[in-house]
Chain A
């Protein structure tokens, strides 16, 4: 499958875009894990679901770098970004009303709490995908990624899978097979 010279630039830009999206998601998820394991902030159920949605955004990029371009991969990423927007908007609306026992969970980063950041991140992802699709389209992108970006993308994909498995272990310790709570790690509390 050879690409025409005119299709090489859009394909390279598409690879760069998806790599940047996956790198950003990986950085955000890593920051959340640092807050959890180093700062002692146990994530709430909606926070965990937001992580799931962020991993879902990465999933489309991982498929792209392994199997080549497909509009379905972009669709899964955008679907996950939409889920992230819905969950984070719901949590922001929930926490924005000050009442006893219900405040923002976790610390603020640059003055904004995690669910508010998630709203901004989800809108930015959806906007970026929309602009990418409008500018590059889908024609002529169906090819393997260029070798220069293939290896970093492979390592980044491996890193995303690894932190997902760490999160799976963390959920087992925090929630077991039951509902999750932010007060304690179920398996560490001995109850």
Chain B
């Protein structure tokens, strides 16, 4: 919503400065978005051409000697080169000096040489000052215009333009009058708007009216006959231009003016172009209209229109039609002031994609009580500007307006804000706003005015009093503390998210936050792509599906970094993935990838040893790090190969808790998937499904189990087994661990190799077993016995033979 300061002062008697008014507007909830103080016009001076002669080297240019008064150039004349055909001796025009910004050509002037002759300024056209499109010549002022003074003062150009950012709850502030009323209620001046005179008119409107659409809540129409339509007067054009509207002709300008002055949109038809009766009806599917914006719209069934025998003439509440519009030839005009159902207008406007000043107001809610005064005000302006005689008004289809009553307890303001305000002040504010407050016991009974459809309950009235009394009057008051020392506030899941992040970052990985949506191809490659998780209106085709996994986003991130020259990346994310559109279909996952040589110890080449390409084991170690950080001991878990189909079938695995619950997957990726994602290079990754990690058991104390330390030294024994190369090392380790649970403390695989010496499809797995006696040092016989048991257990479990 835009208006000028002088326009506001038509309605508001105030001594307040521009900055005070703007400050107050913002503080009463009408946030000032921008103020154009029009200072751009200040440097332009009125100047007289005292001599004009031909430029020596250019036929079309003249050399002017210009007097711009005693303050400019110490009163001496300036030499100016000018190409305007009307430049002549004696002309009084508008001068821009070097250093002045000229808005119409978006240039700051400097002293220039034009065809070899210096020019110390410029005589301006109206277009150069953005006053009009006129550019046939320079501005030609009356001879008595005061030379040397500011042109802006002479032409009254300095009328600051204020734009406010209107929230949907202020339909009353879509007009300058309503804004003035709010300012008055806040104590900044008094309202001085005259009553709109009632115009009864004479004679019939001469057009039959038929209202059948439920969207229409009222329709008033009047004819003014014998008008002379033409350009509006300067004051009107100036105001419309100041707020960014293009003056068209007086009849159209009047409707635009009242739209902004009163928040009351209107429409004018050229009565001679209307055929038959005007029907306010719902459109049939597929009806079309060429609208005033020169575009043709196809209407959906049920769109409320104003039509005549030829078809649709106007889209109700949004935009008029080209066919019946008013132009310079119009002599008979029909003025429409109607009221429309806000939600219908909003829906139609959205469907057609039309944003107009009328729609803006009707969808917020236009004052129903001002429908007829609006018609009269427009009639008066048309009669004043275009002459003619007004008919009687016709009013049809009016749905009665039932005012709401809201009771405000006198204590309600304090209950919600904490600040006590005198009842009289509450009453005063509500009274100026038109709520007609009446004291009844400890309450104020109010009637919501017709221009405030947004007000429903007492909280709304508290807001009205608050914004006009001053929000800053409410001083901060501490919120009572609930406890001296606050307890833990995070849930286990939240703690795990954080722990996973810190654990992965401390493993040299960098946290990303990627979009929750991926392309369909990416979703499908990672087990997603379900129709229920597709966006109906994605921002682009590659952000169309809710992600089933963190991996495609991370792999794409690695690809982008590699394309920038950063190929060795270790990235992770801890966030949600989506397996269904239900609340519990959103799963917490910690996922990560490593590309190139970005292992735990670093990347690339180093004098002490180069980093190897990343592999499944880097991803496995990351997954275990997350599980450890989530407080879940890794020794309870089973490893199974392979992982899901997007992983390399021979280089991936899943970490399981029991036979069914998969709590993590890790590995290198399937080449087909990498091709789909257009990424290359050594790449491995993992995902830990944090929701699957069991909740820790609640314990009555934080005491840790008793620690018993053995005084006897542990003993280490090495064993090398030859097994079929399909036998998993994990089975050998488990068998050795199980050989004597009391004695075997740790089993480490320290060597794995295959070679022809071992036989076809065989490998050697060497383990170091640590035995930790608790009661006494082991004798040689006991050692032999436990060693033999380890060997036999491993042989039994895997078919291994002990290598000699």
* Real binding pair: no
Residues of A with Cβ closer than 8 Å to B?
A: none
Residues of B with Cβ closer than 8 Å to A?
A: none
